[in-house]
Amino acid sequence: MTRQAIVVGGGIGGLAAAVALHRIGWRAVVLERAAEVREIGAGMSQAPNAMRALDALGVGEQARSAGVPTYSAANLRLPDGRYLQQARPGDPTPLTAFHRADLHRVLLEAVPAGWVRTGTEVTGIRQTERQVTVTWSGGEASADLLIGADGIRSTVRRLLWPEAPAPRFLGRTAWLGIANAVAADGLPGSITMGSGGYLLIHPISRGRAYWAYVTAAEHPEIRYTEEKTEVARRVTTWHQPIPALIAATPDDAVIHIDICDLDPLPAYVRDRVALLGDAAHAMSPDRGQGAGQSLEDAVVLAAALTGEPTVEAALRRYDTERRPRTQATARGARADGRRTTSPALHRGLTSMIRLTPASLWRRGIAADGNATWRWRPPHLPSSATQY
Ligand SMILES: Cc1cc2nc3c(=O)[nH]c(=O)nc-3n(C[C@H](O)[C@H](O)[C@H](O)COP(=O)(O)OP(=O)(O)OC[C@H]3O[C@@H](n4cnc5c(N)ncnc54)[C@H](O)[C@@H]3O)c2cc1C
């Protein structure tokens, strides 16, 4: 008998979960509160672990053609333009950059038609021994399994983990944007490390560039009438193409967000319910791993569902495998963010990078250069049914 799941949330994590379930022969419905399933926001990069997860989901090739190789980890600069480390021509890079909408579309196209239901905000959950039921205004649905992929302010988490603390503001804020192709074409990707903040550039599809400026902030929710003017002012003396990229971003396309993460949860599963992606382990963006970890979650969860005799046993395995890794990654990202936006640590950090021999630096940013990137997906037996 075909098993049935409900996925709450149609972001990258929720869609990846739906694709993974499809591959193992489950049916699913994705309930998304927005009127349209789409990814808002700017860009992102994916590391080798995430690209392997996309391969396991059967969409690696499509993702690679939607993404662009980025040398952001290889080109580290100071605001005056000097390089602390620099990629050599012909060097490989393990990072792929995306417009968020492009990666989201790749996943959405792999979800069977009719599985996504928009305009559906889940507000209630109840469980019996055999089923889990979710409710929304005017409707309800039941299934063998519920996946809460509803983001950092997850309703599923709030309902079933009422004791979990709210997301934590990390004392950092970020401006993001996509610069048009005229200003951005051909950029290799870089990170410029200023005192108290850094600016990241990734090339993305159609010759455009994604940029993000992350800096310390005493309080959350400080907003400016002209966000683009404000971020431009903060990096006005920084090397080109930084001021040019900001100038080449439409005013209303500059996004300003506060950086928050989740304190570690004691469990990602409760009976027939699993949290996945930011709902389980929202993390600071400084390791570029949040969405990548949600892709891994989806693959590991599906592999556990095929390898264990019951849903409950599969969820226990998912929890055991995913919690230590994702929480260690979140801890590392929180610490990295603190270091890279601390004026007191700037001189020491940049000297350390400058003094690291180039060969050693390259080894550290090779595809297998660190434990996070080395991850290999479990085998997902593909028994997808065509709908
Ligand atoms: C500045 C910044 C840069 C980042 N850069 C990177 C990067 O380079 N690489 C990387 O891997 N990650 C990056 N991340 C992290 C990444 O954006 C997130 O980890 C990822 O988008 C989380 O996906 P998700 O599907 O878990 O959650 P979300 O994308 O938040 O999706 C949740 C979905 O659930 C829906 N929803 C919410 N509540 C309900 C409800 N009650 N009922 C129905 N639907 C609901 C929402 O509408 C939404 O569509 C970055 C994050 C930030 C802030």
Query: Distance between CA 356 and CA 308 in Å, rounded?
Result: 46
- pLDDT band of residue 384 (cuts 50, 70, 90) is low
For residue 79, report the distance from its CA to the centre of ligand 1, in Å: 30
Mean pLDDT value across residues 187-204: 97
pLDDT given at position 185 = 79
Alpha-carbon span 17 to 302, nearest angstrom: 8
- Going by the DSSP 8-state scheme, the letter that residue 96 receives in this structure is E
CA distances from 47 to 70, 251, 325, 378 (A): 10, 30, 15, 17
How high is the pLDDT of residue 127?
95
Instruction: Supply the DSSP symbol for 232.
Output: H
Tokens, residue 84: 């602390």
- Per DSSP, the three-state class of 179 is strand
Q: Read off the tokens for 312.
A: 């409950």
Q: What is the dihedral of CA 293, 298, 301, 305, to 10 degrees?
A: -170
Candidates 316, 384, 377, 290; CA nearest to 39 is: 290
Query: Is there an atom of ligand 1 within 6 Å of 10 CB?
Result: yes
205 by DSSP, 3-state: which?
coil
For range 323-336, the mean pLDDT: 98
Residues with Cβ within 8 Å of residue 55, at least 6 apart in sequence: 377
Which of these ranges, 183-187, 253-257, 380-384, has the smallest mean pLDDT? 380-384
Q: 117 CB less than 6 Å from ligand 1?
A: no
Is the pLDDT reported for residue 387 higher than 70? Answer: no
Confidence category of residue 182, pLDDT binned at 50, 70, 90? confident
Query: What are the angstrom distances between the C-alpha of 75 and each of 29, 100, 356?
Result: 43, 22, 13
Q: What is the pLDDT of residues 69-105, one digit of tens each?
A: 999 999 999 999 999 999 998 999 999 999 999 999 9
pLDDT tens-place string over residues 19-57: 999 999 999 999 999 998 877 779 999 999 999 999 999
**Digit-coded pLDDT (tens) for 248-269:** 999 999 999 999 999 999 999 9
Q: Give residue 6's pLDDT band: very low, low, confident or very high (50, 70, 90).
A: very high
* Residue from 36, 44, 117 whose mutation best tests the ligand 1 pocket (most atoms within 8 A of CB): 44
For residue 17, the surrounding DSSP H or E stretch is helix 12-23
The C-alpha atoms of residue 35 and residue 141 are separated, in whole angstroms, by 19
- For residue 241, cis peptide bond before it (omega within 30 degrees of 0): yes
Q: At residue 248, what is the residue type?
A: A
Mark out the alpha helices in 73-198 (DSSP H runs): 100-110, 155-160, 181-184
Counting ligand 1 atoms within 8 A of each CB, the residue from 278, 297, 322, 373 with the most, and so the one to mutate, is 278
Q: 31 CB under 6 A from ligand 1?
A: yes
Element (DSSP H or E) covering residue 260 = strand 255-261
